[in-house]
Amino acid sequence: MRPLYKIIFLLLLILFSIAGVSDKQRTVIDSQIFLIKEGMISKEKVFKKAKKFDDTGVFGIGSDEMTKEEFENYLKSKIFTIHD
């Protein structure tokens, strides 16, 4: 039973790590994936573009800012689902 708990924990961790990427940020990242794969733009530049659409909330309350780790996890999940 223990391995089952570990698998469930890892799946939940992956799901919640993507939660920090907003819909607008996903749109920006998705539109740049081809350019990243072809080496025409760096991941850092795409991260900075998407970071502009962070949800800052009101006076910091309710803010949901995308972290570099959340960006990397989302990017990995999108790149591995695209078939060349």
* Segments forming the whole domain that contains residue 45: 2-81
Which of these, 63, 64, 26, 18, lies nearest to 46 by C-alpha position? 26
Note the pTM of the prediction, 2 decimals.
0.66
Read off φ and ψ for residue 64, nearest 5 degrees. -140, 90
Q: Which residue has the higher pLDDT, 70 or 15?
A: 70
pLDDT (tens digit per residue) in 19-42:
578 889 999 999 999 999 889 999
SS (H, E, C) 53-76: CCECCECCECCECCCHHHHHHHHH
pLDDT (tens digit per residue) in 40-75:
999 999 999 999 988 776 665 666 788 899 999 998
Domains of the chain: total = 1
